[in-house]
Amino acid sequence: MAQEIRLYTKYQLEEHCRVNLEGSQAHYLINVMRCEIGDRISLFNGRDGQWQAEVTSISKRSISLIALAKMRGQSPSPDLWLVFAPIKGKSELVVEKATELGVSKIIPVVTRHCVVRSVNMEKLEAHAIEASEQCERLDVPTLETHKDLSHLLGAWDGNRKLLYGDESGKGTSLTKVLNDMKQEKIAILIGPEGGFADDEFSMLRACGFTIPFGMGPRILRADTAAVSALACVQSHMGDWDLQPHFIGNKN
Amino acid sequence: MAQEIRLYTKYQLEEHCRVNLEGSQAHYLINVMRCEIGDRISLFNGRDGQWQAEVTSISKRSISLIALAKMRGQSPSPDLWLVFAPIKGKSELVVEKATELGVSKIIPVVTRHCVVRSVNMEKLEAHAIEASEQCERLDVPTLETHKDLSHLLGAWDGNRKLLYGDESGKGTSLTKVLNDMKQEKIAILIGPEGGFADDEFSMLRACGFTIPFGMGPRILRADTAAVSALACVQSHMGDWDLQPHFIGNKN
């Protein structure tokens, strides 16, 4: 379907407020989408809902808009976190998919067998924003700076269950884990391609808030595992009973 | 975890049979893995289980092995099909993930809004084989040559339910669709990024074997939708109660 232009902005949005976009957003609107004065796009900021805004002026590197009317009220995203070990060349993909699947927070975690030990947060954030714009979310997941596994576990709020993919094969099936859960706060933890180290497994098992899970007899790549686990959580206890906001307007 | 070398071959596997590998498999073993005479690898062909084989001779472009012993008996993959509209630059990714998620058959389908209208079957098959080798499957999903949607629907065996992602937002949530199903044969159909055309929706709705489904309020990209839907089917009625075959051998 032909989709409207939706852009995330950090600015406050309210009636008649002016928003000035620069950098890549201005480039996109001016040079890619060839926006002209009077064109209308949608803006959201994660707090004030979605606003229709009109282009009021265009210069070489910036574009000004005025917010006209609120089209959708702010609705919360599911309270679901993803903790994942960065994957060479695929961390952006994981962030994009996790955003589409509605996670509220993403935390990269470095473990012993990680091939990638640093994370380009700016790049990940750009992917989270773009995915939010595309998938009709009204917010962007929070991206935390990466931490070591031990640091992450040490500072963990025990009220949130940390479900970790146990690629040793010893975890209970994710289906059963989710069936047995009440409406609890959840984070999914997916380790690196090389798996968790023995002492990391010990650390994980020693925590009162962790639950190991498996996803069947085939060994999933880390990015497949992340997407699959998040989809299952959303299917089991997320917001899949809701429909896209445009329902009724299109086909 | 350090994984053994597992390769798919079309040859029959039985005790003491000789297998000669050429082309990219020979290149991989000789130049990438630096195999030497006496080294052992695993072979599977989708019929005879997994065999341990020993390298008996190496030439510049081929490598010979002898099958020593059957290490795993052949076990069937779940009877789950994926029908998907090819996605620019991402069809290989979809085939890879679908293979990991255990589909038995993959059918590319061309619809009105497909940007990609032809499919490199050889490339897709290579990805299916590589994913099978990596994920510990004992078979490779069947890849059918691509067809038009009308042709596909016209020749469909009505005993298999075709669950199609209804990006118009009008489908019942996939969770509910799966909860309401008995142990039926299933295929998942994911349309192109541009969505199904109106007459395609009409065609789909007119078939007795189709069920539209939704996956919540966010618009998933086609590749995310394919992976998410397959994961949910496997979680609901697939083989996730099974564990990887090495369970007990490794941490």
Is the pLDDT confidence value at B251 over 70?
no
Model confidence band, residue B172 (pLDDT cutoffs 50, 70, 90): very high
What residues does B148 pair with on adjacent strands? Answer: B110
Domain termination residue (choose one: A22, A56, A72): A72
Quick one: DSSP state of residue B102?
T
Query: Residue B167: what pLDDT?
Result: 84
Q: Are residues A210 and A114 in the same domain?
A: yes
Query: Residue A249: what pLDDT?
Result: 41
The shortest C-alpha distance from B59 to chain A (Å) reads 32
**Structure tokens, A12:** 């406050």
Q: Are residues B136 and B64 in the same domain?
A: no
**Structure tokens, A91:** 């961390």
Q: Are residues B51 and B163 in the same domain?
A: no
- A196 vs A225: CA distance, rounded Å: 14
Domain termination residue (choose one: B43, B72, B101): B72
Q: Which residues of A touch B247 (CB under 8 A)?
A: 168-170
User: Is residue B189 within 8 Å of B164, Cβ to Cβ?
Assistant: yes
Q: Is residue A242 part of a domain?
A: no
Q: Do A168 and B251 touch (CB under 8 A)?
A: yes
Q: Do A136 and B227 touch (CB under 8 A)?
A: no
Q: Do B219 and A100 touch (CB under 8 A)?
A: yes
pLDDT digits (tens, 9 = 90+) for B38-70: 999 999 999 999 999 999 999 999 999 999 999
User: Is residue B140 within 8 Å of B99, Cβ to Cβ?
Assistant: yes
Nearest to B36 by CA among B1, B63, B14: B63
Choice between B183 and A207, residue whose per-residue pLDDT is larger? A207
Q: Is residue B250 part of a domain?
A: no
Q: Which residues of A touch B194 (CB under 8 A)?
A: 1
Q: Do A243 and B137 touch (CB under 8 A)?
A: no
Q: Is residue A37 part of a domain?
A: yes
| Closest-CA residue of chain B to A175 | B235
The shortest C-alpha distance from B152 to chain A (Å) reads 22
Q: Are residues A158 and A209 in the same domain?
A: yes
Contacts of A111 (CB under 8 A, 6+ apart): A85, A148, A149, A191, A192, A196, A197, A200
Q: Are residues B199 and B155 in the same domain?
A: yes
Q: Is residue A1 part of a domain?
A: no
Domain tally, chain A: 2
Model confidence band, residue B97 (pLDDT cutoffs 50, 70, 90): very high
Q: Find the CATH number of the domain harbouring B44.
A: 2.40.240.20
Helix (H, G, I), strand (E, B) or coil at B22: strand
- A38 vs A98: CA distance, rounded Å: 35
Model confidence band, residue B1 (pLDDT cutoffs 50, 70, 90): very low
The reported pTM is 0.94
- A13 vs A47: CA distance, rounded Å: 8
Neighbours of A10 (CB within 10 A): 9
Q: Are residues A164 and A186 in the same domain?
A: yes
Q: Are residues B60 and B136 in the same domain?
A: no
Nearest to A85 by CA among A193, A157, A233: A193
Q: Is residue B48 part of a domain?
A: yes
φ and ψ of B20, to 5 deg: -110, 120
Q: Is residue B244 part of a domain?
A: no
Angle (deg, nearest 10), helices A222-237 and B91-100: 70
Q: Are residues B133 and B108 in the same domain?
A: yes
- B224 vs B218: CA distance, rounded Å: 11
Q: Are residues B118 and B217 in the same domain?
A: yes
Q: Do B231 and A229 touch (CB under 8 A)?
A: yes
Kindly give the pairing relationship between strand A185-190 and strand A80-84. Answer: parallel
Query: Residue A251: what pLDDT?
Result: 36
Helix (H, G, I), strand (E, B) or coil at B75: coil
Of the residues A99, A103, A203, A228, the best mutation for testing chain B's interface (the one with the most B CB atoms within 10 Å of its CB) is A228
In the chain, the amino acid numbered A44 is: F
Q: Find the CATH number of the domain harbouring A127.
A: 3.40.1280.10
Contacts of B124 (CB under 8 A, 6+ apart): B91, B92, B95, B106, B108, B143
Please report the ipTM that was assigned to this predicted complex.
0.93
- Of A216, A219, A230, Cβ closest to residue B239: A216
Q: Is residue A249 part of a domain?
A: no
- Tell me which residue range forms the domain holding B26: 6-72
- B163 vs B165: CA distance, rounded Å: 7
Query: Residue A247: what pLDDT?
Result: 62
pLDDT digits (tens, 9 = 90+) for B126-157: 999 999 999 999 999 999 988 899 999 999 99
Per-residue model confidence as pLDDT tens for chain A (251 residues): 235 899 999 999 999 999 999 999 999 999 999 999 999 999 999 999 999 999 999 999 999 999 999 999 998 889 999 999 999 899 999 999 999 999 999 999 999 998 887 889 999 999 999 999 999 999 999 999 888 999 999 999 999 999 999 988 888 999 999 999 988 899 999 999 889 999 999 999 999 999 999 999 999 999 999 999 999 999 998 898 888 887 644 43
Q: Are residues A169 and A198 in the same domain?
A: yes
Q: Are residues A130 and A196 in the same domain?
A: yes
Domain termination residue (choose one: A72, A97, A121): A72
Q: Are residues B41 and B114 in the same domain?
A: no
